[in-house]
Structure 1
């Protein structure tokens, strides 16, 4: 088949574009809407001044995504075309010419589809030589690039809409489209399996763009609307303020007539147990947390168990980063193990084991276990199960002496279940920071959290150990986490006395 004429290309261009008018939907919004519908509502209907500023961690994530995208393009699609353009319509006209000229690939250039009311820039349009289309004996298929190792449904739906768009434009819809993940693995997806879900998402999206409201829920939004939506949820006293109530459970509760904290606080266990997915223990916990929030005071659930007495009390906390591969096989490189140590015969001391590079994680771990197993009659307190899970994995992977490993593992005590079985707090998340702050503890640094420490560690590694300010911030944050664990432990002991 011969190439299309300029007149043919003009006809295709006119068929899919409208003069001086942009399509209603940008294709990348499909992914955002699938993950957080209220983010899209805010984009269209909320005051932009309410947006959160970008944090160092978010900037790092965007940079990592761009770096991965560039690496994939240079590694796998170096022969593909990418032309400069001033407007989306100009770029779309160039795409049609490239498709007509049988470009082997087209990178990050716009598609416009008036019929679907959508425009967007797929990552890759790859030539398929043996499948004809309006452009001749060849056609194009869609490839989307994601830096995540695990592909989400939202990623697939974004690729699916590009696949539908290119089908309209070339008059042949590819039956399969592809996604490349953070490990450079290419996965096929069959368009027909996502058609119905895509239709539903698009209609819901159009409804929201046209003004349909969405109930604000705690942690229901992503950056940059997280704080704004959280404030709306708090103002509405929404049921999602209760720890453990996420979107699906909130839907079930709302269907049963429970939409606010005080409605759940006044409910009986029997009322809640009739709702899908809620058993006796869950109902008890929800009501206790709701009562704590409703009264703005601690709700007592059951007596505390007696805490063990040891000669050396150690309060530990790990800092990890998921941006580097770990030799332990974990998704995290645990580059810092911090410990606040207290004995009857010596002053309290903060001790840290810091791996200056990800490669030093095994040696750093060995140093920690060597030190920990030398302590006299120690007990290692921590908050939640991360420390035990990771130390067990690190110990086994880095061939720590089994006696030393078990010496530490068997003396680990997670304070989280001890506290939460006995008390419900008037807080929205049952984390170390939230509970310790409620009880009166304060962190030294306001601008560092778990995600921020990952960005700081990246800064330190990339500076080849010269960025001591970042390292010191991480150490300060980690010491405060250890001190917060000790603070809660001491509060528990005071509760046992009273």
Structure 2
């Protein structure tokens, strides 16, 4: 049976679709708090949309698909204006296709029942009409066409922010047929598709732990930063399927392959070497191609051979003399926001005073939704107390928030112009100066590799959003306290990474100067 959900999952990950059909359910992860929140948000959006429609619900027992399809067709034959929770069922030889659009909406047209027809409507939480949504909508239109003996003129997707979107069926139906054929071929083969870990796509999947463990056992190249699905296909095409093979190839040779240029080739080979030998590499170091895995030095010895790119321009290389800014007083800054409420409710600032040898953490918290401006003013007052202190943060988000809050609360332009140059992105410094033996360059991955641990091991940005919503619903301050701990640990992790990177660069430069 091919369903809406199976087709949606297949487009995002063929392995998930396979495991949902053939996998051992004991290996599935329980849903996270954040996934539950997404489901709740989706249901709330669906209820808000449905509140604007008058509809009829077909009567049938739960999961009695044939009975549901028959009940739906009775309502369609009666010509009711809208049908909620319909069942569209169609069997073609040995394959059964099942669809459950959110609505079927009547419009003037032609069908086997008379001078009316129906369109399928999908209600989606997403902000844009992604291709996978459109393919599922085309699937619903295709099955509806089989049921009513007339293809609908369009299929509708109702999005959370952009409202109704009309799917171009003339474009999407041929794509649907190709995807269906590929999906059926994969499912019939009963051969588990190769694992590929993509963090932004996999982490909410209930098979993530199972697939991640498989990838780790295989030392799969998808665990290497910079190896996208397209690049992995291109690496396989030239016979590079292992970490060792990628670490040993000449970047010049890789750069000649389709899909790779000089900069990408250098980055991938350097990343493979750092991961294979579990040692950091300064980006200004000469790239090595014959290193022994038994060497234990953290820094490259001078007898290593010259880089294959010696004398060429590599965009991300930095002068060895370049060092991170330092000051008597430094800020380490991290914010927490609730995107659905467009609210920044927490500014965490770790103030490191190197003269007084103190570390003071300020948790500037809006414990009411309307207190955002008050917290913003407190942050500005704190930064004004130390006008020369650099403000270290991780990734551009904090600067974006500062710019948004400055505009929202009419902050004097002169103040903003003095404040913004003080921000220093540690993530940018890490990625431009060093290659680390890690799976991604998120703060947690880097800091944990350096030995830093969060007090709440499972805490992350998504969990913080859930905690804040639970605080709003229950008034239980333990949720706020958990967010504050997590926020402080993020600030201290940023400080930890900055300290390590400063020492690493200085040590490496000293060794190069010493060895000449």
TM-score between the two structures when normalised by the length of structure 2: 0.86
Contact 1:366-1:400 at 8 Å conserved across structures: no
* Count of aligned positions: 464
- The counterpart of 2:453, out of the listed 432, 435, 442, is 442
User: Over residues 171-227 of structure 1, what are the superposed CA-to-partner deviations in whole Å (9 max), with x where a residue is unaligned?
Assistant: 000131111000261111121111221011111111222224422112264510112
Shift of the 422–268 alpha-carbon distance from structure 1 to 2, 3 Å rule, reads same
Contact 2:99-2:143 at 8 Å conserved across structures: no
Shift of the 399–80 alpha-carbon distance from structure 1 to 2, 3 Å rule, reads farther
Residues 1:340 and 2:317 are matched in the alignment? no
Find the counterpart in structure 2 of residue 9 from structure 1. none
Contact 1:380-1:408 at 8 Å conserved across structures: no
Report the alpha carbon displacement of residue 96 of structure 1 after superposing the two structures with TM: 0.9
User: Over residues 134-169 of structure 1, what are the superposed CA-to-partner deviations in whole Å (9 max), with x where a residue is unaligned?
Assistant: 011111111110011112111111111010001011
Whole-Å Cα distance in 1 between the matches of residues 197 and 425 of structure 2? 27
Contact 1:289-1:424 at 8 Å conserved across structures: yes
Contact 2:85-2:103 at 8 Å conserved across structures: yes
Whole-Å Cα distance in 2 between the matches of residues 447 and 392 of structure 1? 30
- The counterpart of 1:355, out of the listed 366, 369, 382, is 366
Find the counterpart in structure 1 of residue 144 from structure 2. 166
Report the alpha carbon displacement of residue 495 of structure 1 after superposing the two structures with TM: 2.4
Residues 1:61 and 2:33 are matched in the alignment? no
Whole-Å Cα distance in 2 between the matches of residues 480 and 407 of structure 1? 27
Find the counterpart in structure 2 of residue 153 from structure 1. 131
Residues 1:416 and 2:437 are matched in the alignment? no
What are structure 2's unaligned runs of at least 5 residues? 285-319, 508-516
Find the counterpart in structure 2 of residue 123 from structure 1. 102
- Secondary structure at the aligned position of 2:494 is classed as helix
Report the alpha carbon displacement of residue 497 of structure 1 after superposing the two structures with TM: 4.7
- Secondary structure at the aligned position of 1:199 is classed as helix
Residues 1:253 and 2:230 are matched in the alignment? no
- The counterpart of 1:144, out of the listed 105, 117, 122, is 122
Find the counterpart in structure 1 of residue 171 from structure 2. 193
Whole-Å Cα distance in 2 between the matches of residues 28 and 46 of structure 1? 16
Find the counterpart in structure 1 of residue 220 from structure 2. 238
Report the alpha carbon displacement of residue 234 of structure 1 after superposing the two structures with TM: 2.0
Shift of the 496–122 alpha-carbon distance from structure 1 to 2, 3 Å rule, reads closer
TM-score between the two structures when normalised by the length of structure 1: 0.89
Find the counterpart in structure 2 of residue 227 from structure 1. 209
- Secondary structure at the aligned position of 1:138 is classed as strand
Find the counterpart in structure 2 of residue 322 from structure 1. 339
Contact 1:34-1:154 at 8 Å conserved across structures: yes
Residues 1:364 and 2:347 are matched in the alignment? no
Residues 1:459 and 2:441 are matched in the alignment? no
User: Over residues 274-310 of structure 1, what are the superposed CA-to-partner deviations in whole Å (9 max), with x where a residue is unaligned?
Assistant: 2344222221111111001111222232247222232
Contact 1:312-1:376 at 8 Å conserved across structures: no
Whole-Å Cα distance in 1 between the matches of residues 273 and 43 of structure 2? 46
Deviates more, 1:360-369 or 1:192-201: 360-369
Contact 1:460-1:470 at 8 Å conserved across structures: yes
Runs of 4 or more off by more than 4 Å in structure 1?
none
Shift of the 154–358 alpha-carbon distance from structure 1 to 2, 3 Å rule, reads farther
Find the counterpart in structure 1 of residue 324 from structure 2. 307
Whole-Å Cα distance in 2 between the matches of residues 301 and 218 of structure 1? 26
Shift of the 196–79 alpha-carbon distance from structure 1 to 2, 3 Å rule, reads closer
What are structure 1's unaligned runs of at least 5 residues? 1-23, 327-332
Report the alpha carbon displacement of residue 84 of structure 1 after superposing the two structures with TM: 4.6
Contact 2:331-2:352 at 8 Å conserved across structures: yes
Whole-Å Cα distance in 2 between the matches of residues 408 and 145 of structure 1? 43
Whole-Å Cα distance in 1 between the matches of residues 374 and 175 of structure 2? 49
- RMSD between aligned residues: 1.8
- The counterpart of 1:484, out of the listed 493, 505, 508, is 493
- The counterpart of 1:382, out of the listed 393, 404, 425, is 393
Find the counterpart in structure 1 of residue 511 from structure 2. none
- Secondary structure at the aligned position of 2:55 is classed as coil
Find the counterpart in structure 1 of residue 54 from structure 2. 78
- Secondary structure at the aligned position of 1:378 is classed as coil
Whole-Å Cα distance in 2 between the matches of residues 108 and 357 of structure 1? 38
Shift of the 304–172 alpha-carbon distance from structure 1 to 2, 3 Å rule, reads farther
Q: Please list, as runs of the form range in 1=range in 2, the aligned pairs for 1:69-108 lying within 5 A after superposition.
A: 69-75=46-52, 77-86=53-62, 87-108=64-85
Contact 1:104-1:127 at 8 Å conserved across structures: yes
Whole-Å Cα distance in 2 between the matches of residues 406 and 470 of structure 1? 35
Shift of the 315–97 alpha-carbon distance from structure 1 to 2, 3 Å rule, reads same
Whole-Å Cα distance in 1 between the matches of residues 239 and 174 of structure 2? 30
- Secondary structure at the aligned position of 2:140 is classed as helix
Shift of the 139–252 alpha-carbon distance from structure 1 to 2, 3 Å rule, reads same
Find the counterpart in structure 2 of residue 15 from structure 1. none
Whole-Å Cα distance in 2 between the matches of residues 417 and 214 of structure 1? 35
- The counterpart of 2:22, out of the listed 45, 60, 72, is 45
Shift of the 185–488 alpha-carbon distance from structure 1 to 2, 3 Å rule, reads same
